[in-house]
Amino acid sequence: MSCLFMFYFGLNMFFMLKKHVLMLLLTLEFLVLTILLMLLNFLMNFMFDGMILIYFIIVMVCEGVMGLVLLTLLVRSHGSDYTKSLMVFSC
């Protein structure tokens, strides 16, 4: 039950914090960690193989690195990570 509360709290914070891209990335990482915790609880309750956890952690790390790379490119090209000052859709 606490995992669902954490997931709801993370989604709530994701939709409320829209000022900085870094805060959005941090809340996404919190949501992924909560999903990892729920997956761990599910696998422990039903005694499944834990190999899927390794795959999920690999995907989680790749997603985090990709977010940081995109944030770095965004800051270098636009000068800040404010979402209001970005003109992403003006291509």
CATH number for 20: 1.10.287.3510
Q: Which amino acid does the sequence have at 16?
A: M
* Structural tokens at position 29: 């990482």
Is residue 87 included in any domain, yes or no? no
* Structural tokens at position 43: 């696998």
What pLDDT is stored for residue 32 in this prediction?
92
Is residue 17 included in any domain, yes or no? yes
What total of structural domains would you count in the chain?
A: 1
Q: Is the dihedral of CA 46, 51, 52, 58 positive or negative?
A: positive
Is residue 63 included in any domain, yes or no? yes
> What domain range includes position 51?
2-78
pTM of the model: 0.80
| Residues 81/22, Cβ–Cβ less than 8 Å | yes
What pLDDT is stored for residue 84 in this prediction?
65
Ramachandran area for residue 86 (φ above 0: left; ψ -120 to 50: alpha; else beta): beta
Q: What is the pLDDT along the chain (91 residues), one digit of tens a residue?
A: 788 888 898 888 888 887 888 888 889 899 999 999 998 888 888 877 778 888 989 999 999 999 889 888 888 877 777 766 666 555 5
Is residue 23 included in any domain, yes or no? yes
Is residue 57 included in any domain, yes or no? yes
Is residue 85 included in any domain, yes or no? no
What pLDDT is stored for residue 90 in this prediction?
56
What pLDDT is stored for residue 59 in this prediction?
92
What pLDDT is stored for residue 50 in this prediction?
77
Would you say how long the chain is, in residues? 91
Is residue 18 included in any domain, yes or no? yes
